[in-house]
Structure 1
Amino acid sequence: MEVRAAVDDDAEGIRTVARASLDASYADALGEDAVAGVLEKWYATDRLADRIDAESVFYVVAESDGAVVGFAEVELDEPNESAAEIQWLHVHPDSRGEGVGVALLERAEERALERGANRVEGVVLAANDEGNAFYHEHGYERVGTHTVEVGSESFDEHTYGKRRDAEGPADFLEEHDVNGETVYVALDERERGSEAPFYVAYTDDERENTYGYYCSNCGSFDIVMDSMERVECADCENSRKPSRWDSAYL
């Protein structure tokens, strides 16, 4: 088995693995229509071609006997690429139990660190016992749970994170000085933004008193939220995007 960076010619193999993996893991739980909708949305020919060529995204694929048997899709936060999110990790059902998922995860982490990321996150539906155990077994902490909509139904999804610096594993709280006051930015509590993520900030390291949000696009704490819970940075107009369904399928 070879684990390598994806190229344009891998697109069809990636789609084939995603289809087989989703069918095996979630067709019963989510329904065939929901799975078909995910495949159409995330693995459409044009989207996949654009993602493989995107600067802020990288794919690693596992290849055996000339065929793609697994892949990971990872997106780095722009503009500083300090965080990487494993948006998908699929292994073909016929190749599960052979170490493919571990090899993909390790290579994805290596590539993320090479790009400058000091933390990696992954998401998996709560109902996916195998996927949740996988992250636990490989040094990830569960750092959050939220609800996602798949079709007309709601499901719980867990977020896992691993952070490190030059000396090894590191805490998820990052201290900032704001007008002489210490504010703690929780790097494991993230909201997607149009330009870069927002992170929840606290006035204490116990996370009991919320300060507000931190904009990772420009480093500002001047964040406003309207009655519809739309979050926007007053300095760079970075704004919160709607949530979507991401998960790992092992």
Structure 2
Amino acid sequence: MIVREAMVDDIDAIEAVARASWETDYPAILSRETAREGVEEWYDADRLAAEIESDDALVPVADGGDGVVGFVHAVEDEAGGTILRLYVAPEHRREGVGGDLLDHTREVLAERGAEQIRAMVLAENEPGNEFYRRHGFELVEESETVIAATSYRENVYVSER
């Protein structure tokens, strides 16, 4: 398993990981229609390509040799850096992929000068919340995110450098 920066050729694989993750993790949180619309909006090919090519975004992927099995979408911002999303294909969870992606993202953001890293996760996504707590992030506030025109509670975690 290697962690590398995403390329435009990875877009379909990133979308597939996101779709599988949402279908596995969110059935009690989002309706199937909302999940489908959210994936289509957040992982649109043009939108992902722009993020991959942006100097202010970071989109590392975990490549298992057979293709992408996980990814992160992070941005540099006034807080230092924010992890907007981190997903691992359900069949590759509990293999350390998420931790490797998180470590890589933290290192790159720190190299870019981030003193603090924030991470966002839906409040009702208990496995996602537990992941960040297990990796030393502290819950600092709650915000809202919009998925397919509906607002959902989101937890904001912080890790200091």
**Same fold, TM-score > 0.5, yes or no:** yes
Aligned residue identity for 1:113 = A
The secondary structure found in structure 1 opposite 2:36 is helix
Aligned residue identity for 2:14 = I
Q: 1:127: Cα distance to partner?
A: 1.0
Aligned to 2:16: 16
Deviant stretches of 4+, over 4 Å: 151-154
| Of 112, 117, 137, the match for 2:114 | 117
- 2:38–2:148 CA contact under 8 A, matched in 1: no
| Of 135, 138, 149, the match for 1:138 | 135
Aligned to 1:60: 60
Aligned to 1:83: 80
Distance (whole Å) between structure 2 residues aligned to residue 47 and residue 153 of structure 1:
20
Q: 1:28: Cα distance to partner?
A: 3.5
Residues 72-118 of structure 1: CA deviation (Å, up to 9, x unaligned): 0110016xxx6101011010011011111111000000010111111
The secondary structure found in structure 2 opposite 1:29 is coil
| TM-score relative to the length of structure 2 | 0.93
Aligned to 1:2: 2
Distance (whole Å) between structure 2 residues aligned to residue 64 and residue 109 of structure 1:
20
Aligned to 2:89: 92
Q: 1:62: Cα distance to partner?
A: 0.4
Residues 95-151 of structure 1: CA deviation (Å, up to 9, x unaligned): 011111111000000010111111110011111111111111111111101244444
Aligned length: 161
Distance (whole Å) between structure 2 residues aligned to residue 43 and residue 115 of structure 1:
25
Q: 1:114 to 1:152 in 2, by over 3 A?
A: closer
Distance (whole Å) between structure 2 residues aligned to residue 74 and residue 153 of structure 1:
22
Q: 1:156: Cα distance to partner?
A: 2.1
RMSD after superposition:
1.5
Q: 1:13 to 1:144 in 2, by over 3 A?
A: same
Distance (whole Å) between structure 2 residues aligned to residue 153 and residue 115 of structure 1:
34
| TM-score relative to the length of structure 1 | 0.61
Percent identical? 39
Question: Does residue 106 in structure 1 map to residue 78 in structure 2?
Answer: no
Note the residue ranges of structure 1 that are not aligned, 5 or more in a row.
165-250
The structure showing larger relative contact order (alpha-carbon pairs under 8 Å, at least 6 residues apart) is: 2
Distance (whole Å) between structure 2 residues aligned to residue 154 and residue 40 of structure 1:
17
Residues 171-220 of structure 1: CA deviation (Å, up to 9, x unaligned): xxxxxxxxxxxxxxxxxxxxxxxxxxxxxxxxxxxxxxxxxxxxxxxxxx
